[in-house]
Amino acid sequence: MSNFIGDRVQRFYKSGDVIFKENDYGNSMYIIQSGEVEVSTVKNNQKVVLAKLPKGSIFGEMALIEQPYRSATVTALSDVSCIEINKVLFNQNMQSIPTWMQSFFQILVERLRESNKRQDTYTSYEKAKQIVILLSEYFRNYQALPDNNKSLLWQETIDKLGAMLNIPAIFVEKVLNRLILLKLLRREVDFEKGRRITINDEIHFFQFADYCIQKLYERAGVEGAQTYKSGSREEIVTLNFIGKLISEQVGATDFPLDYLEAKCLEHLGYPLSKLEPTLKILIKKGILSKRIDEGIVIYDVNKSKYRDVINRDYINKKFMEYEVTIGKE
C-alpha cells in the first residue's frame, strides 16, 4: 500500500483552487486526506452545487472506470490534501488482486453506470419524492429529543441527501424549503450547531412519504400498497352524487331506486342507468348494498366505508398538490 499511496501522488490545494473543471480530460481519481471540496456543474448558465465532500471522500473515480471527461467541477473549499491515483497506477494494482475481486469491481461499475442512467431519466417531481422518502427514513431512525420531536442538522442533511441520491444540493434545499411552506417540516435554531430541521406535522409527513413510495412503485411498474390510489372519475362522480343525497336527506343513507333515478336526472343530467356499472363496483367494495323491501329496490350506504373513501380521496388530492409544489424546478 505504501508503494500505491506515496508522496509522489499526494496533492495539495489552497482554498479556492479548482482541482479540475467540468469537461476537462482526466485520468485520475482523488481521496481527500484533509479539508473539504465542492462538486458543482452548470445548468442553464447557472452554477449548481451537487455536493460538498469532506475528509475520506473520493471524487473523480469515473475517469478510471469509464468516461475520461469530467462530469463536474471540483473546487477546494479549504486547504485540501488529497491522494491522486492515476489510471496506470490503478490498473497495475487491479492486476495484482484476485480475478474474483476484479469481477466484483466490474459489477459495481455496471451498477453505478445503470444508477446514473436511471437518475438522468427521473423528472424533478420524482427526485423530490426520493428526497421525501429518504428524509422520512432519517427521521424514523433518529432518537426523539426530550420534547418528543426529531431534529436533524440543516446543512448536513442537505449534503447527505444530495450525495446519497445524486441530486444537486441546491434542489434538495428547495424541496426542504417547500416542505416547510407546506407546514410538514419546520426549521429550528441551534445556537451551537446552527440551523436544524424537524417534523412539524408527523402524521401527514409520514403519510406523504408513503404516498411518494407508492407513486415511485407505480412508475417502476412494481405492485405495492394501494392506499393512495384514487378511484376512477366515474367513482368520484358517483360518490359526490351520493354525498349530496345524504346531505339533502339530513343524514339518511337508504335510497329507493325511483328516488335515485329522479335525483340523478336532476343533479347529473343523465339517467341512473349510466351509473349502473359504477354502482356495481361500489357494491363490490362494500360502500353500497342493494336490497328489496316490499317490492321496492333500495340502495343502502355504508356510512363508515363511505367516509373512509371520501377521506382517502381528499388526502390523495392534497398529496397530489404537495407533489406538484415540491417538484418544481
Say if residue 129 is in the same domain as residue 164. yes
Predicted pLDDT at 180? 96
- Asked if 322 contacts 208 with a C-beta cutoff of 8 angstroms, the reply is yes
> Which has more confidence, 89 or 290?
290
d(CA 116, CA 50): 14
Residues 200 and 259 both lie in one domain: no
Mean pLDDT of the chain: 82
In the sheet with 46-53, reading across from the earlier edge strand, the strands are 18-20, 73-76, 37-43, 46-53
Classify residue 321: in a domain, yes or no.
no
Q: What is the CATH number of the domain that holds 104?
A: 2.60.120.10
Kindly state whether residues 150 and 82 are assigned to the same domain: no
End-of-domain residue from the set 121, 149, 183: 121
Instruction: Say what the pTM is.
Output: 0.52
User: Is 323 part of a structural domain of the chain?
Assistant: no
- pLDDT value, residue 317: 84
Within this chain, do residues 251 and 304 fall inside the same structural domain, yes or no? yes
Q: Is 317 within the bounds of a domain? A: no
- Please give the tally of structural domains in the chain: 3
Residue 2: the pLDDT is 45
Is the pLDDT at 20 greater than 70? The verdict is: yes
pLDDT given for residue 297 in this prediction: 92
Shared domain for 115 and 128, answered yes or no, is no
Which of residues 121, 155, 186 is at a domain's end? 121
Same domain, 33 and 71: yes
Does residue 79 fall inside a structural domain? Answer: yes
Q: Can you tell me the mean pLDDT for 182-193?
A: 87
> What CATH number does the domain containing 157 carry?
1.10.10.10
Distance of alpha carbon 244 from alpha carbon 240, whole angstroms: 6
Q: Are residues 117 and 11 in the same domain?
A: yes
Take residue 135 and report the three cell numbers written for it.
Answer: 428524509
> Does residue 93 fall inside a structural domain?
yes
Asked if 135 and 151 touch (Cβ cutoff 8 Å), the reply is no
Q: What is the pLDDT of residue 13?
A: 96
40-44, 131-135, 220-224, 250-254: least confident range: 220-224
178 falls within a domain: yes
Distant-in-sequence, close-in-space partners of 59: CB < 8 Å, separation ≥ 6:
29, 30, 32, 37, 39, 53, 74
**Same domain, residue pair 128 and 117:** no
Residue 148 and residue 96 share a domain: no
Statement: residue 110 has pLDDT above 70 = no
Structural domain including 51 reads 7-121
Same domain as 207, residue 252:
no
Percent of the chain at pLDDT > 90 equals 32
SS (H, E, C) 70-132: CCCEEEECCCEEEEEEEHHHHHHHHHCCCHHHHHHHHHHHHHHHHHHHHHHHCCHHHHHHHHH
pLDDT of residue 227: 62
Is 117 in the same domain as 132?
Answer: no
Q: Is 49 within a domain?
A: yes
pLDDT, tens digit, 9 for 90 and up, residues 288-317: 999 999 899 999 999 888 888 877 777 888
Q: Establish if 136 belongs to a structural domain.
A: yes
| Residue 293 parent element (H or E) | strand 288-293
pLDDT of the residue at 149: 52
Last residue of a domain, one of 91, 121, 151: 121
pLDDT: which is higher, 61 or 296:
296
Rounded mean pLDDT, 168-193 = 90
| Local confidence band at 1 (pLDDT 50, 70, 90 cut-offs) | very low
Same domain, yes or no: 52 and 18: yes
